[in-house]
Amino acid sequence: MRYFAVLLFLLTTSFVVAQNNKVKGVVLNEQTNFPENGASIINLSTLDATRTNNNGAFSINANLNDTLHFSVEGYRSLKIRVTADWLQNDQNVVYMKDNSIVLDELVISNLNLTGILSVDTKLIAIAEYPYFKDFGPTGFNLNYNSGLNPINGIYNSIKRNSNESKKINQVKQEVALIEIMKDKFDRETVSALLNISKEDIVSILQRCNHSERFIYTANDYQIFNAVNECYTNYNLSK
């Protein structure tokens, strides 16, 4: 009986330790090696979330094979699977690459840029995708091929995977994650959580009659809720 109690204690201790692993490290700019303050790190497997401090350092709960999503506005986001060496090393380094786009001069001249950075960046982004058309002075006018409905993709994906559906509901209970999403406007987090592209996010919201102003100015948490509300209404109407 005593041996059984010892074995049970060891197993319980091992389980607790396994469930309280942390990944620690620092996020750096790939070009300059400077630390990235305020980079968002989200564990897509558990929905734990955190940000880097002034030194670019971070610590987040994670287990073996969890997927961590790193994002900084203006940088290419990363998804990294947690391996055993990541759990054993307290000095993991994540390099973020600048996502700036070098455009051909002719392409830029064809966009009729306004000189207003917040508007021109959207013009450039829209020009990259063939199913976006130019817009008039009142705002963005997005035309999506009527034969394709991205809502179907979300509906079918969530319908097939009950774990994904549970994750979506769990997001609303994760305070740290919500606070990060409220401060973000780049759609990286929404794209990672729902496993859909940024272009599909825009198309879905367009089909659910959200205004262009909302689509391009709402924070990521508002967009996340809007996409899921769109999915819910679509599901109920089937």
pLDDT computed for residue 115 by the predictor:
55
The answer to whether residues 154 and 225 belong to one domain is yes
Query: 165 pLDDT band (50/70/90 cuts)?
Result: low
Residue 31 lies in a domain: yes
The answer to whether residues 233 and 146 belong to one domain is yes
Number of domains in the chain: 2
pLDDT computed for residue 114 by the predictor:
53
Residue 23 lies in a domain: yes
Residue 161 lies in a domain: yes
The answer to whether residues 158 and 91 belong to one domain is no
Task: List the one residue out of 201, 192, 197, 220 whose CA is nearest residue 70.
Answer: 192
The answer to whether residue 6 scores a pLDDT higher than 50 is no
Mean pLDDT on 110-121: 52
Residue 104 lies in a domain: no
Host H or E run for residue 7:
helix 2-18
CA angle 135, 141, 146 (to 5 degrees): 135
Which pTM was predicted? Answer: 0.67
Query: 1 pLDDT band (50/70/90 cuts)?
Result: low
Task: Report the CATH number that the domain containing residue 6 is assigned in CATH.
Answer: 2.60.40.1120
Query: 99 pLDDT band (50/70/90 cuts)?
Result: confident
The answer to whether residues 138 and 89 belong to one domain is no
CA angle 134, 220, 67 (to 5 degrees): 115
Residue 124 lies in a domain: no
pLDDT computed for residue 141 by the predictor:
36
Answer whether 231's CB lies under 8 Å from 158's CB: yes
pLDDT computed for residue 148 by the predictor:
47
| Domain boundaries, position 211 | 131-237
The answer to whether residue 235 scores a pLDDT higher than 80 is no
- Please say which residue of 74, 96, 118 terminates a domain: 96
The answer to whether residues 224 and 180 belong to one domain is yes
Answer whether 22's CB lies under 8 Å from 8's CB: no
Residue 120 lies in a domain: no
